Amino acid sequence: MDLTSTPLCNFSDLPLHGMNNKAVVVQWGPCHFLEKARIAQTGGADALLVANNSVFFHPSGNKSEFQDVKIPIAFISQKDFNDMKQTLGSNISIKMYSPPRPNFDYTMVVIFVISVVTVALGGYWSGLIELENLSTVTNTEEREMRKKKEEYVTFSPLTVVVFVVICCVMMVLLYFFYKWLVYVIIAIFCIASAMSLYNCLAALIRKIPCGQCTITCHDKSIEVRLIFLSGLCIAVAVVWAVFRNEDRWAWILQDILGIAFCLNLIKTLKLPNFKSCVILLGLLLLYDVFFVFITPFITKNGESIMVELAAGPFGNTEKNDGNFVEATAQPSAPHEKLPVVIRVPKLIYFSVMNVCLLPVSLLGFGDIIIPGLLVAYCRRFDVQTGSSSVYYISSIIAYAVGMILTFVVLVLMNKGQPALLYLVPCTLITASLVAWRRKEMKKFWEGNSYQVMAHLESSKNEESPVITDEQIVQQ
């Protein structure tokens, strides 16, 4: 029986001729689907089918309030229901079927490879830039200029605290004003990711010796291939922006742009010492845990703010005084998702299971960038001290272990996890143990400023004996 035209949230919505021995089809929302099932059961229905375009969360609710509901409940996509009515008519016999869940989720392997490779490449790239900077320093004046430049682009402890406070404010603003701010984030992501993709590809293209034709304009030379590259990067970002809600393939472009965005930030942003790393990672760990585990006790609907914003507010619902209600058919901001995650669709995404399970595995950009900044610092410290990449390699291994631990807990608890809860302890403890074992904790803690001062002092000590010897020879 087709009741998609009525909400079926009150007993007054029941049809007058009854629904005995019928399977009732209703729309998702505005009330809980278990409430619909209770009303349908009271009306004599044998089963309830919930039709919806997509359900991006496990059906949840306080099931203790609906213990009297005994009829089976199933989910069906709105498109499939419309096709059934068109092909088979209104008199249809149904049988319930629960597809088995896959024993292995391959998306974990894909996300693991993406995250580890991105962090490793970002840290290695940062080390290459540090090596180039050190190799070009030939005198004291250049050292001082480089030092001033680094202080301008690096994060001080105060800057780190301000950055975390801004993140918290943005998270709260997005939760309450998602309908408008989501478009601002999308626009920022398009611009930043296009620039990041250009920076990543330009670094590779410049290594190619051929095709270096240039165009001179106002005494400035521009390589033709870089002009075409900039057009390509802009085109990729524009195509994603236009087709971002195309679930079949738009996630590929988002992941490419996201990886480039993470790589560029890991390479560009510099933490000057391990102290700043500890402050940043520690505060963001608390930030992550609060918005994942604590906010469900604060929000009216009992859902995590972090999970809602990462996956989108139920995909096709909108906020209304803390509750989720059915959205209109017109495109609106609640249908949009924040482009701040790596998305990998599961195999069930292309099966009937996509109407009742979370069909996409997500990993936030912050879970790549934040530990990546520590890995990048470890790589730069290796370059400065000539420690044969021991800090860099150990931090990469620690990050990989943290990701594996995240996946293990995710499988055991069957609930979204804040990855920083496992990544931060693994990376910080490992880096500390390596520094302590090598008796370099003071250098590692004070970072670049310590290295520059030590280098300058050693240079002065080397210059003074030379002057003394020359004076002796002249005498």
Which residues are designated catalytic?
288, 367
Q: Which two tokens stand for residue 371?
A: 């530990």
**DSSP string over 224-262:** HHHHHHHHHHHHHHHHHHHSTT-TTTHHHHHHHHHHHHH
First-to-last alpha carbon distance for the chain, in angstroms, is 112
- CA–CA dist 346, 360 (Å, integer): 6
CB 21 within 8 A of CB 46: yes
**DSSP string over 143-166:** HHHHHHHHHHHBPPHHHHHHHHHH
Peptide bond into 345 cis (omega under 30): no
3-state secondary structure of 339: coil
Distances (CA, A) of 92 to 1, 88, 89: 9, 7, 7
CB 50 within 8 A of CB 75: yes
- CA–CA dist 24, 19 (Å, integer): 8
Strands 23-27 and 47-52: parallel
Strand partners, 212: none
Q: What is the CA radius of gyration of the chain?
A: 28
**DSSP string over 432-456:** HHHHHHTT-HHHHHHTHHHHHHHHH
